[in-house]
Amino acid sequence: MKRFKKALALVVVFTLVLGLMPMAFASVPQDIKGTKYEKAVETLMRLGVVNGYPDGTYKPERVVTRAEMAKLLVVSLGLEDAAKLVAGTTPFKDVTTNHWATGYINIAANLGVIKGYPDGTFKPEAVVSYPEAVTMLVRALGYKDTDLPGTWPTNYISKAVMLGVTKGVTVALTGANRGDVALLLMNTLNTNMKDPVGYEGTQPVYAKLISRLAATETIQVLATSSVDKDVEEGTVMIKDDGTTMKTAIALDGYLGRKVKVYVKDDQIVAVDSVLSAEVKTFTAKNESESKVANKVYDADGNVVATKSADIPVVYNGVKTKLNAPGVVVYNGAKVTLIANEKKGEYDFAVIEDAFEYQGIVVNKDVKDGDKFINGNSALRIAGDPVKTVIVKGAVNKLTDIKKNDVIYYAKSADGSKVTILVVRDKVEGKVTKVVTGDKTIATINGKDYEVSGVTVKVDDEGTFVLNKEGKIVYFIGKAAAEEKYGIVLAAEVFGQISGGKVQLFTAAGEKKTFDAVYDVATVADGVYETNKYLVTYKGDADGKLSEIKGVGSTNTIQYMDTTYDKDNKFITISNTKYYLTESTVIFNVYNNDYKVVKLADLNKTPIDVVAFEADGYNVLKALVISEASLAQPTPETTEYAYVSKVATIKTSDGTSYEITAFAKGMKKTYTTKVGFTDTINANSVVKLQLDKNGIVVSAPPVSVSSTVTGTVEEISAGGFKIKDNNNNIKPYLFADGVTVITVDAEGKAKLGGVGDLAKGTNVTVYLDNADKAAVIKVN
């Protein structure tokens, strides 16, 4: 036995320096494709550690035996040739000389990675549990029982977790299956051995277990066959002079990067690590109209400096130079910058999905033989220089692109490769609400959608086409009727060329100022403005008022002898019946309060009528009344608020506003009444006057006379003293629910507290009607 062990030890040492035998790489077994095991099994097969079954499967669920585990460990240690040399006799009484795993069992047992049982058996067909498998793998890294204090298996499992051996695997007490064992093996191969392989000065140098199976080499992935037509398939360009190297794995995901790879039989079989100093990936922001070429824009829209103007770049799938014609980093492009030597010195770039044309609505189906989409030569899909067209997204073939699809079109700098992203997201329904502000938001079927590049109005009904960000970019269906009636509030004439402006109170319940042609502005600037005329108006293609026609003055009540039949929906004016419908635009004008009301709001008789217009059948198209009961209600409460945001809300009822503000010591959201006419600006302090339902009916700003600026001189629980610019000191009590606002370095307002009011703090104080501090802004 001693002679056997000595010979075995010599064999082990000898085989560590033997060359590796050539091997053929099998395809990935079908039953692990798309699973968490795929990458690990694929790499282990290339390394010759595992094999599939003759039927093309891997059987990841099958439990591993001790004999199989011995083979996996020995092969992983690079000792398969040694195992062949010592096959036959083993020191275990239950392992016959003709057992297929004798050589592997001998090597594994001699190294101590798998131990026999006290009764002299090995039990080669016994199932390996997860704790046993983890123990064997940790031992394969060079760890012994004496290195790990504690009791088994906790000591080995703890070490495995620390080393990353168990990443992605749950260590249960059941038998370990082939899929999980592949993950455990791959993790172990990528883990450093316990003992160093040498020293750099006084620093130890460690090697990963995988170094036993393949040599390592450092390369830069300069090009692959998919981005450079001069690189043969199955190779990768590693030098600027065009030198290539064989590879068994796809390296497109490492383009531009300096990587450490494992090489077996002069072929790359696995990537160990990325050695580049920095790899930075972001979505570019380029919203400038000029779309400057040959510059890289970051996520904030700033130009990023590169090592030189002509660094290599893979642009929309084809390798070129950054300064080549046609290289433009369009908004939304995915950019990866690589600095291989020094962080910040970017020497390679990968720019993907740089779509020159975005959110294009297809106007007809794409058919075989088409050279362009939409007949637009800018959207070429066939003919020189196009060689390759990649279609992705909702479909993957050109002829599957249909009318009303939304596409994004990108091409390489030389035009040879075209990438088309197809979006087929749509929503059907009716617009019930439109909010305008920084963005336009339309509500359809109870869900909010941002609107981009198209006008959407309340009551638009049909199919709304969405782009890849889920924004509405196209509308197919019945558009809502345009507003036609309004009341002239103000007008100004600039000149015959420049025209003028006209302010109207519209049927949407809002005060709106329009540009107007000269004749319209001139008419409006006269009697229409003076008498606040009800008018009809039309706009040209640019939205400028091109026509205006007066219906009647709204300054005075014209008809008081009216009767209104609520049940039959008609009003008698000067002994003539006029009929009202849901389409009748009804304005209420009372003491300079303008409001659009619903037909259902009319519930009294008589009604004071100011002006009206009817069709040939006496159906009212527009009606102006003057009723106190429909005018602005008397405010119930007042809240002093610091406004942070104002959004416009348009519904079928008219226009209102949503106000986000800080009031009563908290952040709150308010909604104004429909037809609200006060002007509210963000970052201002206002008196919000609320009705009994909490709806804002008016919001005048806090007056200058109720505003104090100075520094905090003294503070107590109930108030503070302020020293003004003239060094006068005056005390102010805190109002109930006093609101303190602080402003950060970016000018953004935040809710603070009384604790922010230290002595010497510069503040602006907004006083309520009792001269108490209602809002305090820390300057």
pLDDT one-digit tens code per residue, 379-414: 999 999 999 999 999 999 999 999 989 999 999 999
What's residue 82's pLDDT? 95
Rounded CA gap, 261 and 122, in Å? 37
Confidence band (pLDDT; 50, 70, 90) for 778? very high
* Mean pLDDT computed over 456-463: 86
- What ranges make up the beta strands (E) of 138-209? 198-200, 203-205
The CA–CA distances, whole Å, from 310 to 239, 324, 459 equal: 17, 8, 53
Binning pLDDT at 50, 70 and 90, where does residue 132 land? very high
Say yes or no: domain 485-552 is CATH 2.40.50.
yes
Span 99-119, average pLDDT:
96
Q: What is the pLDDT of residue 288?
A: 67
CATH number at 214-274: 2.40.50
Q: How many residues does the chain have?
A: 779
Instruction: For the chain, give every domain's residue range.
Output: 2-189, 214-274, 278-352, 357-423, 425-478, 485-552, 563-630, 637-698, 704-778
d(CA 677, CA 699): 9
Please give the pLDDT value at position 436. 80
Query: Is the per-residue pLDDT at 1 higher than 50?
Result: no
Residue-averaged pLDDT of the chain: 89
Instruction: Output the pLDDT for position 197.
Output: 92
Burial tier of 255 (Cβ tally within 10 Å: 0-12, 13-18, 19+): buried
Q: What is the rounded distance in angstroms from the CA atom of residue 630 to the CA atom of residue 612? A: 18
Q: To 10 degrees, the CA torsion angle through 41, 42, 46, 47? A: -30
- Exposure b/e, 40-59, CB count within 10 A at least 16 = b: bbbbbbbbbbbebeeeeebe
Flag the least confident range among 98-112, 290-304, 584-598, 649-663.
Answer: 290-304
The pLDDT of residue 24 = 35
- % of the chain exceeding 90 in pLDDT: 64
Residues 159 and 137: their CA atoms lie apart, in Å, by 11
623 contacts 661 by C-beta, under 8 angstroms: no
pLDDT at 665: 87
Task: Decide if pLDDT at 23 tops 80.
Answer: no
pLDDT score of 717 more than 90: no
The radius of gyration of the chain's CA atoms, rounded to the nearest angstrom, is 39
Written as one letter, the residue type at 560 is M
Least confident of 111-120, 200-209, 599-608: 599-608
Residue type, 320: T
Residue 631, pLDDT > 80, answer: no
What pLDDT score does 511 carry?
82
- pLDDT at residue 287, rounded to an integer: 74
Q: What is the CATH number of domain 704-778?
A: 2.40.50
Let me know if the fold of 214-274 is the same as that of 637-698.
yes
Q: Which residues make Cβ contacts (< 8 Å) with residue 628, sequence separation at least 6? A: 590, 591
**pLDDT tens per residue, range 182-218:** 999 999 999 999 999 999 999 999 999 998 998 889 9
CATH 2.40.50 fits 637-698, yes or no: yes
Output the pTM of the full model: 0.56
Check whether 8 has a pLDDT greater than 80.
no
- Say which range, 18-32, 161-175, 259-273, 319-333, has the weakest mean pLDDT: 18-32
Distances (CA, A) of 660 to 528, 642, 644, 737, 741: 37, 9, 6, 17, 14
User: What is the average per-residue pLDDT within 234-238?
Assistant: 97
Q: How many CA atoms lie within 13 A of 327 on its CB side?
A: 24
